[in-house]
């Protein structure tokens, strides 16, 4: 299964990053390629990708606050994103591990760019909220 890892550091404390990371309604603010989000029952939401308002993509969200971990699983394409936060001095190290099924391997480079942009946006947005 293709996979990759990315990381960024924010000057914001973990609590500020967490507020953006655990709430799917905030994803369009920082996650590249997501235009809108429709939040459903706990742990479930639907994204609408930029440029595709008629293409809903159901997602599962698992949050582990004590572990500072958020896992997003796409129910359409089976991509999996595991986000983790760690204190880094007065700021936060944000890491994400992405797994892509073989059937979606052609999207690897595109997803790498989306995640690279998104982790940087998350770090910056959290720092701006301080």
What pLDDT sits at residue 53?
84
Q: Give the three-class secondary structure for 14.
A: helix
Tens digit of each residue's pLDDT (9 = 90 or more) over 60-111: 999 999 999 999 999 999 999 999 999 999 999 999 999 999 999 999 999 9
Query: How far is C-alpha 127 from the chain's CA centre?
Result: 17
Task: Please state, in angstroms and rounded to a whole number, the distance separating the CA atoms of residues 30 and 122.
Answer: 5
Task: Please state, in angstroms and rounded to a whole number, the distance separating the CA atoms of residues 104 and 108.
Answer: 7
Tens digit of each residue's pLDDT (9 = 90 or more) over 41-63: 999 999 999 998 899 999 999 99
Tell which residue, 106, 52, 42, has the closest CA to residue 79: 106
Q: Supply the pTM of this predicted model.
A: 0.93
Domain residue spans of the chain: 3-128
Query: How far is C-alpha 47 from the chain's CA centre?
Result: 12
Whether 83 and 70 have beta carbons less than 8 Å apart is answered as yes
On whether the 3-128 domain is CATH 2.40.10.220, my answer is no
């Amino acid at each position: 299964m293709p996979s990759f890892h990315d990381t960024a550091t924010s000057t914001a404390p973990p609590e500020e990053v967490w507020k953006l990371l655990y709430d799917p309604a905030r994803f369009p603010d920082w996650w590249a390629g997501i235009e809108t989000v429709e939040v459903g029952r706990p742990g479930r939401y639907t994204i609408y990708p930029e440029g595709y308002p008629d293409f809903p993509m159901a997602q599962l969200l698992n949050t582990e606050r004590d572990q500072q971990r958020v896992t997003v699983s796409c129910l359409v394409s089976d991509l999996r994103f595991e986000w983790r936060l760690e204190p880094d001095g007065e700021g936060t190290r944000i890491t994400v591990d992405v797994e892509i099924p073989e059937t979606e391997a052609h999207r690897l480079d595109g997803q790498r760019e989306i995640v690279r942009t998104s982790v940087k946006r998350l770090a910056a947005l959290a720092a701006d909220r301080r």
